[in-house]
Structure formats: structure tokens, C-alpha cells
Chains A and B, each alone.
Chain A
Amino acid sequence: MNFKLIWRIIAYILLIEAGLMLPSLGISVARSETAAVNAFLYSIGIILLVVAVLLLVTRNYKKGRFYSREGLTTTGLTWIMMSALGCLPFYLSKAIPNYVDAMFEMVSGFTTTGSSILPEVESMAHGLLFWRSFSHWIGGMGVLVFLLAIVSVGGKNEGFTLHILKAESPGPAVGKMVPRMKDTAKILYMIYLGLTVLNTVFLLLGGMSLFEALCTAMGTAGTGGFGIRNDSLASFSPYLQNVTTVFMFLFSVNFSIYYLILLRHFNEAFADEELRLFLIMIAASIGLIAWNVRPLYTTMEETVRHSAFTVGTVMSTTGYATTDFDLWPSFSKAILLFLMMVGACAGSTGGGMKQVRLLLLWRSLKRNLHKSLHPTEVRSVMVNGRAMDEDIITNTNAYLIAYVIIIVGSVLVLSLDGFDFETNFSAVMATFNNIGPGFHAVGPTCNFAAYSTLSKLVMIADMLAGRLEIYPILILISKSTWKKAR
């Protein structure tokens, strides 16, 4: 394993992270929040020190020799390092006095989960609040992809960077959109930035302050869900809630669809089967839930608005709330639980298992059923008119198994803390699928502070595994990763 190059890349990432702290520092300076200013300054200092040490240790790194295993390891380590150092402002400013809590909050931010251990946020320094929301935006598209967009990591022959894109971007079959990795990463970030700016403008038109609009838009863009008010989005106007609903859906669509639209390949874009499944699922879920919860609300408008918002927040795995969906009837909650699992489209900023995996699993199940009737049949699983590689199907099956094992294992550990099953199960689902709030004691109006340190560590691992699609985190605990001989 080419550890020197891996740590070199991590050093670059941390340098970027220190730079990304500057806007938050600026806000704290402008609002003369002394504790936060000092915390940011110390954090940046510590990060720069770590960067200096890493650069010194890896000064004789070798280019090349970077394969799939290096890509996965880099991604896993990068995210852990970023969170471990990124949470310093919370910890040093005493806003979150416990380091594990601060780490939980930071991982929740970078993985765009939005689960919080804070009972209330309105008294927090604005710089820290901004950093919390900004972390969603950074984590949404992935910071390694950002690195690929701005520098040349590996000299002229950058084929290996594909392993990084594959490890960091969600979806079973990640590829480039254009021949150059740099251009691909740039296109992704331009679409991301463009949509975020658009969202901010719409929120500003609805009367939000610039700070609130930016934080909310970044939380939506990354499909994160940290709010800047204690009641999340409940006290904002219906217009602002509807804008957020629309943008939550927009950010859970595969970004290559937007690229196709930019190229004016409209037919190709709307023929995408994952997109169609996604739209059907949205319509069906909103319809069923609205019908189910209509006794709870007074007007039709209110019913549809809350149903649509909640379906959006869960499918996009954002985690904002306009209403306490924990009070909804169990049929609606069951639908929400199912949507939590499926999540957004591949290649978006959302989490979960991804729509396309559901499509693949469903079609391969159908195929295998048909094959049991005709044992010698040869049939490919088709998606978007193309035969899918059997490798991808096998991987998807393995992914489902890993997914289930992690949920079962995490629920077992969380159960030690004595909460009821609904709380524990939904806590794991909410963190592993990067959603945010669960049901019952971790519902939209509650938080995760009451869990023990062990459970929090498990949920930290779950959030990372969920965002990076399991393998980059699993590979870090695999023995063969660290052994010299293969």
C-alpha cells in the first residue's frame, strides 16, 4: 500500500479544511464572538501543524502505484481525519464540552446526517452555527472530489483518481462524465454551486436573512439537516418550507441528469429509469401519507405541505422538520422507515441505499425467479436499456448483506443503553442512512445526547459507513489493509 501518497493527499485535504474554516472565523470576528474566534484560530493552528508534519513525513512520496485499495483507504482515512480535526472549534470553544460529542456533531455534519446532540442551537455562536451548516455543504459533494477539481494529485497520468471518485461518490456504478477527471469534478461542483446559489436566492426572496438563507441552503444542498432554529423549519413561512421541499428533491437527483439537461439531451435525461422510479415513489408516498395523516391537520394545504416536506426530508435524507412526524399514525411511519432505507438517487448528495440499487435488486430478483422456472435461461439485468455487469449485481447483493449486518450489529450495541426498540432502531436507521432525526426518543423534537459514549462511537462509524457506502470504512478495519504482505 502506498501510504506515503495516501497521507500526502490527506495533508492536502486538511489544508483545504483549514481554509474552509476561514468564512466561519470571519463571521465570528464580525460578530465579536471571542470564544469562537479563539477556538477557530487554535483549530486552524493545530490543523496547519498536522499538515506540516504530514508533508514533512511524506516528502519523498512516490507517484503512481495507486489502485482500488489505496482509493478506498484514502477516502476512509480522509473522512476520519477531517472529522477528528474539524470538530475542534466546537470542543475548544466549550460549545460542546465533550470531545466525543463534538466528534459526533462534526461527523453528523460532514456525512450530511444532521443528527445532533445539542438540545438547543439558538444560543450558539453564529460562526459555529455556520461551520455546522457549511460542513454539510462540504460533505455533500465530497471534499476529495473538490481536491480533484482544483489540483493535479498524480501528475500527468491521473487514471488512478478514478478510484477516489468511485470511493467517495455514492452509487453502484460511478463513472466520469467527460474524459478528464478534473473537468468531471469541476462540472459536478459547478452544478452543485449553481443549485445552492439558486436555493439561497429563493430563500432570500421569502424574507430570510442572508445568514439563515445560506445556512438553510447549504443544509439542503448537502442533504444534511442541521437547523439554525430549535424547531428546525417549523417556524418559517409555508413559502420557505415549500422552496426547501423542492430543493431537497432537486439535490437527491443524480447530478449527471443535470449535466444531460445542460447539454440539452432532454430525452435521455427524462428516460432515466432511476429518475422515473424516484418520481413515482415521491408521488405515491406523498399521496398515501397525506391521505393517512389528514385528520391531524386543519386544511388541505397544510396536510399536503407537511406530507411533501417530510417525504422530501426523508427520501433526500436531509432531516429538516416542519412538523413532529413522530406523532403520525404507524402506517405513515412505516412508509417513512421504508423511504429512509431506500434514500436518494445514486450520484446525488443524498444517502441511503439509493434508488438504483433497489431497482437492480428488484430486477435481479425477478430474473432469478424466472430463471428458476427455466434453469438454462440466460438473461441480463437491464437498466436504462443497457445490460448491467454481473459484477455490479454481485456487488449490490454484497452491499445489501453488509447493510443488514451493520444495522443488526448497531441496534444490538445501542440496545445496551435501555431505550425502547423503536428509538434504537430508528436511531440506527437515521444515522446510517444519513437522515438525522428518527422516531420516539430521537424524534424530530429530541436529540441524541442521552446515548452512552459507546453508542455514539457506533453511530459515528454508522454515519461514516453510510455516507461512504460501507466499503471505505470496512476496509479500515480489515487486517489485510495494514499488513505489508498481501
Chain B
Amino acid sequence: MRILVAGAGKVGRAITRELAEEGHDITLIDMNKKVLDDVMSKYDVITLNGNGASMITLREAGIENIDVFIAATNADEVNLLSCITAKALNPNVHTIARIRDPEYVEQAYTMQNVFSMSLVVNPERQAASEIARLLKYPGFLKREAFAKAKVEIVELKIGRHSQLNQVPLNRLSQKTRCQVLVCAVIRDGVSIMPDGSFVLQEGDRIFVTGAPDQLHDMLTHIGVINMPVSHAVIMGGGRISYYLAQELQKLHITTTIIEIDEEKCKRLSATLPYATIINADVSDRSVLESEDIRDYDAVISLTGLDELNIVTSMYAQAQNVPQVITKLGRGDESSLLESMPIGSVVCPKDLCTMHIVRYVRAMQAKKGAAKTIHRIADGYAEAIEFEVTDETRHTNEELRTLKTKKNVLIVSIIHGSQPEIPNGSSSFRKGDTVVVVTSKDNMILQLNDIFEE
């Protein structure tokens, strides 16, 4: 498809890379020529120096022939204006805008038609709800929900004394007394899609799928202490912190926010009366000591500086805070960070990119498109949720008779409300929901794509 991206910031570039790799024709617009030259020399795309909200630039970019327009500049107002302009020039274009300012979010959704936006993405709010889900049931490094949270994929690290150390995967259910399945493993920075004879080792990061209650039982059976979070401290008072504090209030978790800027503190205290707002510098060790972060069950580093977030989280880990979450704005160095004790990593840029990729893929597939897509195992694999429809082939056939593509794994079949870990004699029928895990080089747009032939 022909896609026009306005804004070559972090999100704009990440979208450009993902969509160019998926084989779309991308034009990238930005005001900064230097950034564009850099993008041109890295990805197979074309660039245009100009303002994405201006009619002249959009015409020059050939907006009449564009299928999807993505506005990802750093200003919400520019994104809104460019979507309106793009739609006016080409009524058939699908427009996607990034809207981040909490003050605009409500009108962005309720006035979506007025602003001619087909999809609104808010990376900060997405990040906040991701963090809230991690805090709801602590113990996992990452958790992704499928089929209205009937199935989840969670990430765990195997410690030296973990009961899973040296356990072969085909004995996993026995050991944990739960219906769970390991769908991917990262060992020494290399991602593996394991089979039953694979033996887990210390230091492995494993991605386990199952129903949420089964996953929690697994945690208790393997002896991971799993205390509910009741006090959380948030470092930095940016947009994510605002959304997160709102979510945490719903979960009855008391929240403390430490923010360096006094004006921001005042605004936060006015909008978040139930949170404790502290005006102090996070990078000052005495602040963390006087606030005594050991009293908290969770430390969430959300400042605008990745380096500060990493250091703060490492400090919190050293203080034995049970749940530590780190936000990374760039998130390009995930393999480097793997060895660092910074707890769970949340990257708003990646969340937002996946959301847009899913939308574009749904446009491509038209019928039977993916309902959810999550990147797991450092982006090596994708977990995708599909609904079985009339078009789906091989319904009601036993899985052992089906030939699927290499590196495709059916990890869950949900009949009605009951998720099932499939085995050779399982099958799916119309109306079921199926979750598949595939390595990224497979291009799975609809469920039929998983079959060989």
C-alpha cells in the first residue's frame, strides 16, 4: 500500500521502518532535511522536505494516490490539521493521528469524524494501561492479553533457584500443575522457538501462554512470591504518569509522583487529588532515601531521560523493591539492556507502532484480519489473535493433520469462554478465537496464511 507518514520523530521513524519492512511504499515528510537524509540512507523509502499539514506539501507527495496517511509530528495540533487537510484532498485516504496531550484526548475521540481521523493513537495512554496491567498481577516482566484477556502471554526470567531451572518443556505442565505452554525463549540474546525436548536454563527469558488464572497458579507453584501492589511511586510527572495515576486509582493503589518541575506538580495536584505529588529531583539520591522507596511495592521510572530511568530502576532493584518498571523512550538497545537489572521495560513508541501496523494489516487483509498483534521476545516473534470465520480453511480438522508454515505455533484455541492449550487432536471451528505465535519473517495477515501451500 502507499503510505504517507508526516513527522520523522521517534514514532515516525519506527513506523516507517516497520511498514517499509512489510513491503509498503512509504513517503516520509519532515521539516528537518538532515533527519530525512538519515532515514533515506537506512530504509527503502522516499522523503519530502516540508510541512505535512500544508496542502502544497501534501499535493507534492501525491496525496491523491495515498491509501494511508499517518500524522506523527510532535504537535497534536499539526497532526489534527494535517488529517483534515489530507482527507479534504483525498476522501478515500485512511488517516491516523497521534494525539498525546491529555487536554485534547477527549475531543480527539468524540470528534474523531469532525477531525477526519480513522484512528487515534495515544502512545502515552497505551503505555499507562500496559503498566497498570503489569501492576495488577505482579510477578511478570511483561504480559500481553488476547481474546478480551481470556488468554495471556507473559514473560518470566528463570533464576538460579527457580524450580523451572533444568526442566524440559514437555514436563512443564507436570511440574507447574497448570495448563501453560512456553512459546518462545530468549537465551543469551538469541530468540528460539523451542520444542518439547528443550531444557530451560538459568538466565533464560521465557514467554508462557495460558489463561490468566493458570498463569497465576504457575507462579505460586514455582514459588514466585506474588504480593499485590498497594503502594506505587512514579518517577517523573509527564503524560504517562498522569494517565497511570488515573488507572492506579481505579485499582486502589496509592500513588506518589516525584517531579522536578514545580509548575507541573501544581497542575498534577489539581488534576490528581488522590495522588501525593512531591516536588523534588529524582536524580538526587537523598530524595529517594528520604521518601524511602523500600516502603513501596512498585517503582515506576517514567522521566523523560532514558538514562535516569535506567539508573533509578537499578537503584530500586538494589533496594529490593518487588516490582520495578522502566520506561524507555528510544528502546533500540533492548539486547544491551537485557543484562541490566531494570525490571520490566515499557516502550511507548513500540506500543504505538504495533497499533498502527495492526491497523494497516487489517486494511490489507480486509476480511479475517488480526484482532490483536503483540511483539514478543524482543521483537523476534509476533503473537497474533484471529477469529475463525467462514473463509478459514481446515476447520474441524485435527491439528496433527495440518501442515503449518515453519516457525508457526498455535498456542491457544478459545471455544466460547474456555481457552485450550491445543494438542494434536485439537481442532478449531467457526466462531473460535485462535492465538498463533510466529517468527517475524513470516507475513501472517489472516489465519489462512499460517498453512503451508
A residues lining the B interface (CB < 8 Å): 67-68, 156-163, 175-176, 178-181, 183, 389
Cα-based distance from A178 to B39 in the complex (angstroms): 15
Known: A156-B21, A157-B17, A389-B33. A179 touches B26 (CB 8 A): yes
CA separation between A158 and B26, bound complex, in Å?
13
What CA separation (Å) do A163 and B43 show in the bound complex?
A: 12
Closest residue of chain A to B23 (Cβ to Cβ) is: A156
Given contacts A159-B44, A163-B41, 10 further A-B contacts (CB under 8 A): A158-B43, A158-B44, A159-B42, A162-B40, A178-B46, A179-B25, A179-B46, A180-B25, A183-B25, A389-B33
Given contacts A156-B21, A157-B17, A157-B21, contact A179 B41 (CB under 8 A): no
User: Are B44 and A181 in touch, CB under 8 angstroms?
Assistant: yes
Contacts of B25 in A (CB 8 A): 178-180, 183
The contact sample of 12 A-B pairs, CB cut-off 8 A, is: A156-B21, A157-B17, A158-B44, A159-B39, A159-B41, A159-B45, A176-B46, A178-B46, A179-B2, A179-B25, A179-B45, A180-B44
Say whether B260 faces chain A, with CB atoms less than 8 Å apart. Answer: no
The answer to the question of B169 belonging to the interface, with a C-beta cut-off of 8 Å to chain A, is no
- A181 and B41 CA atoms in complex are apart in Å by 11
Contact residue among B21, B33, B44 (Cβ-Cβ distance under 8 Å from A179): B44
**Complexed CA–CA distance, A179 and B39 (Å):** 12
B22 to chain A, nearest CB (A): 9
B41 with A157: CB separation less than 8 A? no
Q: Which residues of B have CB within 8 Å of A160? A: 41-42
- B27 within 8 Å of A by Cβ? yes
Q: How far is the CA of A101 from the CA of B46 in the complex (A)?
A: 43
Which B residues form the contact surface with A (CB < 8 A)?
2, 17, 20-21, 25-27, 33, 39-46
B41: A residues at CB distance < 8 A: 67-68, 159-160, 162-163
A156→B42 CA distance, assembly (Å): 11
In the complex, chain B residues whose CB is within 8 Å of the CB of A68: 41
Are B33 and A157 touching (Cβ within 8 A)?
A: no
> Closest CB of chain B to A158's CB: distance in Å?
4
Cβ contact within 8 Å between A179 and B27: yes
- Given the complex, which residues of B lie within 8 Å of A161, measured CB to CB? 44
In the complex, what distance in Å separates the CA atom of A179 from the CA atom of B27? Answer: 6
C-alpha gap A456/B314 in the complex (Å): 68
A68, chain B: closest CB distance, angstroms: 7
Q: Which residues of A contact B44 (CB under 8 A)?
A: 157-159, 161, 179-181
- When chains A and B are docked, how far (Å) is the Cα of A319 from the Cα of B42? 39
Q: Which residues from chain A contact B42 at a C-beta distance below 8 Å?
A: 157, 159-160
CB distance from B443 to the nearest CB of A (A): 11
Known: A179-B45, A389-B33. A159 touches B21 (CB 8 A): no
Top 3 closest pairs, chain A to chain B, by CB: A158-B44, A179-B25, A159-B42
**Nearest CB on A from B243, distance (A):** 33
Question: Is the beta-carbon distance between A159 and B40 smaller than 8 angstroms?
Answer: yes
* Most chain B beta carbons < 10 A, residue from A156, A162, A175, A179: A179
Inter-subunit contact B43/A159 (CB<8 Å): yes
A178, B25: Cα distance in complex, Å: 8
B27 neighbours in A (Cβ, 8 Å): 179
List the B side residues contacting A157 at CB < 8 Å: 17, 20-21, 42-44
B17 surroundings in chain A (CB, below 8 A): 157
Distance from A38 Cβ to chain B, minimum over Cβ atoms (Å): 43
Smallest CB–CB gap between A362 and chain B, Å? 24
* Chain A residue contacts of B40, Cβ below 8 A: 159, 162
Collect the chain B residues with CB atoms within 8 Å of residue A67's CB. 41
- The smallest C-beta distance from A153 to any residue of chain B, in angstroms, reads 11
Most chain B CB inside 10 Å of its own CB: which residue of A158, A160, A176, A180: A180
Question: A179: which B residues are within 8 A, CB to CB?
Answer: 2, 20, 25-27, 44-46
Q: How far is the CA of A329 from the CA of B355 in the complex (A)?
A: 72
Cα-based distance from A72 to B39 in the complex (angstroms): 19
Query: What is the bound-complex CA distance between A56 and B258, given in angstroms?
Result: 60
Shortest distance between the CB of A262 and any CB in chain B (Å): 14
What is the CB-to-nearest-CB distance from B395 to chain A, in angstroms, rounded to a whole number? Answer: 33
Q: How far is the CB of B13 from chain A (nearest CB, A)?
A: 11
- List the B side residues contacting A180 at CB < 8 Å: 25, 44
Name the B residues within 8 Å of A159 (CB-CB): 39-45
In the bound complex, residues from chain A placing their C-beta under 8 Å from that of B21 are: 156-157
CB-defined contacts of A176 to chain B, threshold 8 Å: 46
Residue of B nearest to A176 (CB): B46
- For the complex formed, measure the closest distance between the CB of B220 and the CB atoms of chain A, giving whole angstroms: 43
CA distance A158 to B2 in the complex (A): 17
Chain A proximity of B309: nearest CB distance (Å): 28
Determine how close the nearest CB of chain B comes to the CB of A382; give it in whole angstroms.
Answer: 14
Closest to B65 in A: A263
Alpha-carbon distance between A389 and B33 when the two chains are bound, in angstroms: 9
Nearest CB of B to A428, in Å: 34
Residues of A within 8 A of B39 (CB): 159
Contacts of A163 on B, CB cut-off 8 Å? Answer: 41
Closest to B33 in A: A389
B36 CB to nearest A CB, Å: 11
Most buried by A among B33, B39, B41, B43: B41
With A and B bound together, what is the CA distance between A61 and B41 in angstroms? Answer: 20
Q: Which residues of B contact A183 (CB under 8 A)?
A: 25
Q: Which residue of A lies closest to B46 (CB)?
A: A179
Closest beta carbon of chain A to B230's beta carbon, Å:
46
- Among A156, A159, A162, residue most surrounded by chain B Cβ atoms (within 10 Å): A159
In the bound complex, what is the Cα–Cα distance between A160 and B44 (angstroms)? 8
* Shortest distance between the CB of A168 and any CB in chain B (Å): 16
> Nearest Cβ distance between residue A170 and chain B, in whole angstroms?
19
> Which chain A residue shows the least CB distance to B39?
A159
How many angstroms between the C-alpha atoms of A181 and B44 in the bound complex? Answer: 6
Residues of A within 8 A of B33 (CB): 389
Measured between beta carbons, the chain B residues less than 8 angstroms from A158 are 43-44
B2 cross-chain contacts in A, Cβ below 8 A = 179
Tell me which residues across on chain A come within 8 A of B20, comparing CB atoms.
156-157, 179
Q: Residue of B at shortest CB range from A387?
A: B49
Tell me the minimal C-beta distance from B20 to chain A in angstroms: 7
Contacts of A389 in B (CB 8 A): 33
**A389 CA to B36 CA, complexed, in Å:** 13
Rounded to whole angstroms, the CA-CA distance of A67 and B27 in the bound complex is: 21
Shortest distance from the beta carbon of B403 to any chain A beta carbon, whole Å: 26
Q: How far is the CB of A165 from chain B (nearest CB, A)?
A: 11
- Closest chain A residue to B25, Cβ basis: A179
Which residues on B sit within 8 Å (CB–CB) of A156?
20-21
CB distance from B6 to the nearest CB of A (A): 15
Complex alpha-carbon distance, A183 and B33, angstroms: 24
Residue of B nearest to A160 (CB): B41
Name which residue of chain A comes closest to B21, CB basis. A156
Q: How far is the CA of A68 from the CA of B42 in the complex (A)?
A: 11
Residues from chain A with Cβ under 8 Å of B45 in the complex: 159, 179
The docked-state distance in angstroms from the alpha carbon of A180 to that of B26 is: 8
Chain B residue at minimal CB-CB distance from A177: B46
A123 to B449, CA, bound (A): 62
By beta carbon, the residue of chain B nearest A181 is B44
Q: Which among A67, A156, A161, A389 has the highest number of chain B CB atoms within 10 Å?
A: A156
Interface centre among B17, B20, B27 (most CB of A within 10 A): B20
A457 CB to nearest chain B CB (Å): 34
Q: Once bound together, how far apart are the Cα atoms of A161 and B40, in whole Å?
A: 10
User: Least Cβ distance of B281 to chain A in Å?
Assistant: 40
Which residue in chain B gives the minimum CB-CB distance to A263? B62
Q: CA of A67 to CA of B2 in the docked complex: distance in angstroms?
A: 26
Residue of A nearest to B17 (CB): A157
Once bound together, how far apart are the Cα atoms of A162 and B41, in whole Å? Answer: 6
B288 CB to nearest A CB, Å:
41
Question: In angstroms, how far is the closest chain A Cβ from the Cβ of B75?
Answer: 24
* Closest residue of B by beta carbon distance from A386: B49
Task: Report the minimal beta-carbon distance from A375 to chain B, rounded to whole angstroms.
Answer: 26
Point out the residues of chain B lying under 8 angstroms from A178, CB to CB: 25, 46
Shortest Cβ gap from B189 to chain A (Å): 17
> A352: shortest Cβ distance to chain B, in Å?
27
Instruction: Report the Cα distance A175→B27, complex, angstroms.
Output: 13
Cβ distance B315 to chain A, nearest Cβ, rounded Å: 36
